[in-house]
Amino acid sequence: MKLPKIAVAERLRELMKEEGLNQVRLAEKVGVKQNTISAWLNKKKEPCILSLWLLADYFGVSVDYLIGRED
């Protein structure tokens, strides 16, 4: 079984652009450090489930959208 590509970095960049947010502001909004946002955007780390929930709630999208399981 082929695993799907996780799309968090791409979706996060898109949502940040739509909201006019930089890494520092998003970090403040969801309660993480700016270097954590940077690691997510550069695909060095993936957000934990709690962070995915916080991001989804902030942007008004589903976790499935953030990870690329739905459009």
Specify whether the CB–CB gap between 65 and 71 falls below 8 A: yes
How far apart CA 37 and CA 45 sit, in angstroms, is 9
Q: Give the Å distances, CA to CA, from 1 to 4, 62, 69.
A: 9, 25, 16
Digitized pLDDT (tens) for each residue of the chain, 71 residues in all: 665 677 899 999 999 999 999 999 999 999 999 999 999 999 999 999 999 999 999 999 999 999 998 88
What single DSSP character describes residue 68? Answer: T
Which domains, from first to last, does the chain contain?
A: 8-66 (1.10.260.40)
